[in-house]
Chain A
Amino acid sequence: MTLAEISRAHRNALEVARGGVTVYQVEDKDIQAFDMARRDFQNLVDKLQAAEPLKAFASLCSQLHARICRTPCPPAWLVETFKPRILELQPKLNPCLATADEKIRSAFKVVCGRLADVQKIQVNPLATEVRAMLELSEEASEKLIVVIRQPALWHEVGAAIDPDAVRKHMVIMKPSELRRASPVDRVLLFGPPWLFEYRDEHFLFRSPVAGSVELFVFAHDCGGRVSASALDVQPVNFRGIEPRPTAAENLQSEPLFMFKPRSFVPRRLPGVETDTVDAHAVYIDAWPVNLGGNMGVYLDPEGSVYAVECKHAGEVAICTDVERRDVEELEPGDLIVLTTEGGGDLIRPLADEILGEASQVYRRRQDDWKRKLRERVEIDGMAFVVAKLQAHGAVGANPPNLRTWMSERNIGPEGLDTDFAGILTVTGVCGSRDEYCEAIDSIRRAHKKAGFQLRDRLLAALKGMDVRRAFVDGFLEVRTAEGGPAKTVFLVEQIARESANVPTHAVARVFELEETRS
């Protein structure tokens, strides 16, 4: 961002700090009645420990109510989108209802009746309020962001708010895209304040992208507060509503499972065929990273990845640079480039290409001394091998370095005349020492060259490209002119706080995750 844009971001924050957030409250008696009915049903289901299908139905109603009250989409349309899931549940519901408590059966009927009433509502009161507000605003050319979490709803949201497509500079974005978005004139948000607190989206108010922040909410759904800063208790000023804590019982009937941190369960860890620990593999503490598209990867916190820098402007996010970034510095919302077939490393295939026919020979030699070193350690133990290496001139020999040298992700020790000489002696490959040194040296030079070339290739492929799809869908495939392994730009969604001990050959290899958050 430029200094001018940051200055504007500061002015926006000052404006919101002084003027507060404008709140527009709406209400509809049928939607309110549906909410009361589904809460009653939920409470009975929980209290009487009803069967799973009934809990699932209660959960669906909870999600549907959330969609109705926190997006401007027509309730009738939203009910239609939920119908397949309700119909799928129907065969399991009927037997449960037949044996359920009378109160549950009665509450279920009420919910269905209220649902039928909601299904008749063709225009969401939130949309009506938004359109009225925008019509009053004379600035048709103003840059406006509408924040909606689910891309699947965007088309309908656009049609509901701006049916005639008058607003040329209106963009719909996910909340996470606004962390580093360029400043605009106005931002529209939907939902009660407590929702933003739970979803860790306070930045929408604390670091607003616009000087004018408008919140649209149903009166019966309204509640909660957001602190303006984590360093003090002063709340964000929501003009038009009183800040009040949200009661815990209100949250029990919310689809809070949607707000939990993503799980990280690999469907199958790449390169690991069984669940047993590979005795010859080197293990490191790596960070589990949730990526877009329900994918995951383990990254070495000491390593680096290619990250995509982009400039957001309205509906596009133009790639401006591709840079090598420390894994340490990655944050949710960043875009990184990983290969999605073959090895996890982008550099190695290109380095092999640079080495040409000699790559196979060099890699074989590299694998050879590493394998022998691992065998030595397995037989004699780490401490003994370290001592032996030191005795043979390997001045850098110690347990961490030895683990690094054995790792596939390390080319070899820097000191070819000292450390590597010691390794060759200890592993018994003295006779072809020059060949092994040549292999390390050549691979190292090829990797360095590959690093420069790869960055140039990625930049050539991505620079100027609209990578917004990576933010919306979570990933975007990239083709470089030179071909090679398929590369994908992934959105970093979550980085686990605790490391996992994984074999080095599983690091930087993308895999599918077992569970998805709905």
Chain B
Amino acid sequence: METLIKIGGWIECADYSSPLTIAICLPRVEFAGLLVATGACLHATKSPVVADWRTGLAELLNRRVAYAFCGKNPYVYWEGVLREIEPGEPATVGIQGTKSGPTDRWPLADLASIQLDPERDGKELADHYHAKNAFRDEHSNRLRTVLPESAVGKLCGWWFQVTLVGIRSRFAEELNEPFPWKVESPAGCKFADLLRPEGHVADSVITRLLSAKDLTGESARGIVIIEGSRRLAEHLTATQRHNRIVLLGRNEPHYSDCAEIVTSHFQQRSSDVAGLDFECPEHIKLKMFYH
């Protein structure tokens, strides 16, 4: 499933002057659109890629750290050790204080910043090629939450938009699901919090949800993610100017027809795409082309 997030991130940085199509053939389309959109969104906001975050967290466990609390003097640091509060649950990693700080355990969500103690872990820092400040900036927010509200706020008025085309009622249910790759946050984090569809927030809408019959050249915004349907041929015609992702579910009755339409467009492509810079698992097939 992480592959879909990576594809979203990849297409987000594609050049709009040469629009391209990525057709993704996968076992089911449920959540695929949201994951692709999330990948694009995370990339647009320059947040760390989710998979890397999890790896980075595992490497930092049991390190001595200095930390500061949210809402308090940001220059007062306490000492502690980064530990898993609940073994096996990365969402509940926190700080166990030492003699110079509180002895309670603090969830990461309560902390403004964390840094390795440079005096004690200087050797590790050098090996990791991270200066003290760079570590703090790169890891504090990453460890705190996938997409902190402060970063989300920066999206107000941002140009980044994505259009999801498919069954709106199903999208609404999926948007309500918790986003699985996050540190526990008091506010919780659902797909809707990341993708900010219309109606979820008063402003800074990122995601437009359209049913198959509502997609036109005028209604599409930004990256267009289309679930294959009987109208796929019309959709592809309407979104010629957009970078788009077509999701083909192999369990869907119209799958073969949609694959045929995609293949037909592929044969009329303007040029080939070099390819992704990451591997796709065997059960996900792609067809990519500049259209």
Chain A positions within 8 Å of B, measured between CB atoms, are 1-3, 6-7, 9-10, 12-14, 16-18, 179-180, 200, 202-203, 206-208, 228-232, 323, 325-326, 328-329, 331-333
Contact = CB atoms under 8 A, between A and B. Distances in A.
The 10 closest A-B pairs by CB, nearest first: A230-B259, A207-B251, A13-B27, A13-B283, A206-B250, A17-B282, A207-B27, A17-B283, A207-B250, A14-B283
A230 B231 CA distance: 18
A196 to B, nearest CB: 13
A10 B283 contact: yes
Contacts of B200: none
Nearest to B24: A231
Contacts of B263: 230-231
Contacts of B1: 6-7, 10
Contact of A323 (B25, B30, B169, B249): B169
A221 to B, nearest CB: 25
A231 B259 contact: yes
Contact of A230 (B28, B167, B253, B256): B256
Nearest to B256: A230
A7 B249 CA distance: 14
B248 A179 contact: no
B177 interface: yes
A331 B282 contact: no
Contacts of A206: 27, 250-251
A331 B29 CA distance: 14
A228 B281 CA distance: 14
Nearest to A494: B253
Nearest to A328: B213
A17 B212 CA distance: 31
B251 A179 contact: yes
A14 B212 CA distance: 29
A231 B25 contact: yes
Interface string B263-291: 10000000000000000011101110000
Contacts of B230: 328
B285 A229 contact: yes
A230 B24 CA distance: 11
Contacts of B248: 230-231
A10 B26 contact: yes
B251 A180 contact: yes
Interface string B250-261: 111111100110
A194 to B, nearest CB: 16
B27 A331 contact: no
A323 B256 CA distance: 27
A26 B283 CA distance: 30
Contacts of B7: none
B95 interface: no
A331 B253 contact: yes
Contacts of B28: 1, 6, 9-10, 207
A24 B23 CA distance: 35
A197 to B, nearest CB: 11
Contacts, number: 93
B253 A231 contact: no
A439 B174 CA distance: 41
A113 B262 CA distance: 53
25 contacts: A1-B28, A1-B30, A2-B177, A3-B31, A6-B31, A10-B1, A10-B26, A13-B26, A13-B27, A17-B283, A200-B253, A208-B27, A229-B25, A229-B259, A230-B25, A230-B248, A230-B256, A230-B263, A231-B248, A231-B285, A326-B213, A328-B231, A329-B229, A331-B252, A331-B254
A371 to B, nearest CB: 32
Nearest to A18: B282
Given A179-B253, A207-B249, A231-B263, A326 B283 contact: no
A9 B27 CA distance: 7
Contacts of B30: 1, 6
Nearest to B229: A329
B23 A231 contact: yes
A11 B253 CA distance: 22
Nearest to A7: B1
Nearest to B179: A3
A230 B260 contact: yes
A333 B27 CA distance: 17
A2 B176 CA distance: 10
B219 to A, nearest CB: 15
Nearest to A331: B253
Contacts of A6: 1, 28, 30-31
B27, B212, B230, B287 interface centre (most CB from chain A within 10 Å): B27
Best-surrounded residue of B28, B252, B260, B286 (most CB of chain A within 10 A):
B28
A10 B27 contact: yes
B177 A3 contact: yes
B103 interface: no
Given A203-B255, A206-B27, A331-B253, 5 more contacts: A3-B31, A6-B31, A13-B26, A228-B285, A333-B253
Contacts of A207: 27-28, 249-251
Contacts of A3: 31, 174, 177, 180
Nearest to B287: A231
Nearest to A12: B27
Interface in B1-44: 1, 23, 25-28, 30-31
Contacts of A326: 211-213
B251 A232 contact: no
A310 to B, nearest CB: 14
A328 B285 contact: no
B1 to A, nearest CB: 6
Nearest to B3: A10
Contacts of A331: 252-254
A7 B1 CA distance: 7
Nearest to B180: A3
Contact of A329 (B25, B212, B249): B212
A32 B243 CA distance: 56
Given A3-B180, A7-B1, A10-B1, A230 B255 contact: yes
A2 B177 CA distance: 8
Nearest to B29: A6
